[in-house]
Structure 1
Amino acid sequence: MPVKKTPEHSKRFSLVKKYYDRGLWSKARVHKAVECKWVTADEYKEITGEEYVKAE
């Protein structure tokens, strides 16, 4: 089922979620997408189900 992009989501949210859901991307890769500003920390939680913790 395609992920619908809502006005509240980042431009690449649908792409990142699709890759994660299909097992093509790990949580680490989604974390990197937050660092690269592809998705937000809130979207990270929506995609992975876990809180985003900034890398030190």
Structure 2
Amino acid sequence: MSDWYETIKDYYDDKLWTPEMVRDMIPIKILTPGEYQEITGFIYPATEPVVIDLGS
């Protein structure tokens, strides 16, 4: 794990950081895509959600 992992996880858990802020740490090599997924629960690269009409 990166040196910043616990700090960023705490910020995210305390709602001080958004998933986008956490994601922005990947290109600058602060976090890995795996760490991003562990912290946020989202898969990197983030994609638009798929909406399926189930015909309510």
Task: State the aligned residue count.
Answer: 46
- Residue of structure 2 in register with 1:45 after alignment: 37
Gaps of 5+ in 1: 1-8
Aligned partner of residue 34 in structure 1, secondary structure = coil
Gaps of 5+ in 2: 47-56
Q: CA RMSD in A?
A: 1.1
Aligned partner of residue 42 in structure 2, secondary structure = coil
Name the TM-score, length of structure 2 as normaliser: 0.76
Identity of aligned residues (%): 37
Instruction: Identify the structure with the greater helix proportion.
Output: 1
Aligned partner of residue 35 in structure 1, secondary structure = coil
